[in-house]
Structure 1
Amino acid sequence: MESQSYESFDDQQRPSYHHGHGGYYPGYGYHHGHGGYYPGYGYHHGHGGYYPGYGYHHGHGGYYPGYGYHHGHSGYYPGYGFHHGHGTYYYG
């Protein structure tokens, strides 16, 4: 769930969504959070979640209008290594 906040670097009269942290599920650990939405900026990438026994799950890439998709953080799986994050996409 995204958290609503007013960012100082933006117009303080309009709300902007900051990237959300993963939620916590007892017995499962932290689930990855979805990117937040910034009006005029688009979606910011979300942090990976943590799964005990599995490690960090990769976060979804963020979307910036006019820039494309921002890469997400790689996840870590013990015994498997780092999982790749989504690639960055730029309009051609």
Structure 2
Amino acid sequence: MSYSHHENPGDYARVHRRIKRLWDEGLFTIEPHAQRRMAKRHIDLLDVQNIILDGSIVSRDRKGDQWRYRIQGATVAGATASCIVAIEGRLISVLDY
């Protein structure tokens, strides 16, 4: 997704609020690669939710014209973990875990 001139991909607080709002509205997908990694690590959707809603954006990178954000937080069991998400229009995609 390309950002408009009004959106700053480096404004982590604003980006994280948007990611959390889209998550709360159910506007997300878990990409197949992320699903496989989650299964391998015994991580479920509640863990991802915990990380996204209660964690913090710790970095970003750009692939093409898409910004990807690493959100670090804790699983339900309290283990430190992170996931990578991208905002694609009115949807967030969990790309990796």
Q: TM-score, normalised by structure 2?
A: 0.26
Q: TM-score, normalised by structure 1?
A: 0.27
Of Structure 1 and Structure 2, which has the larger fraction of its residues in helix? 2
Larger CA Rg, structure 1 vs 2: 1
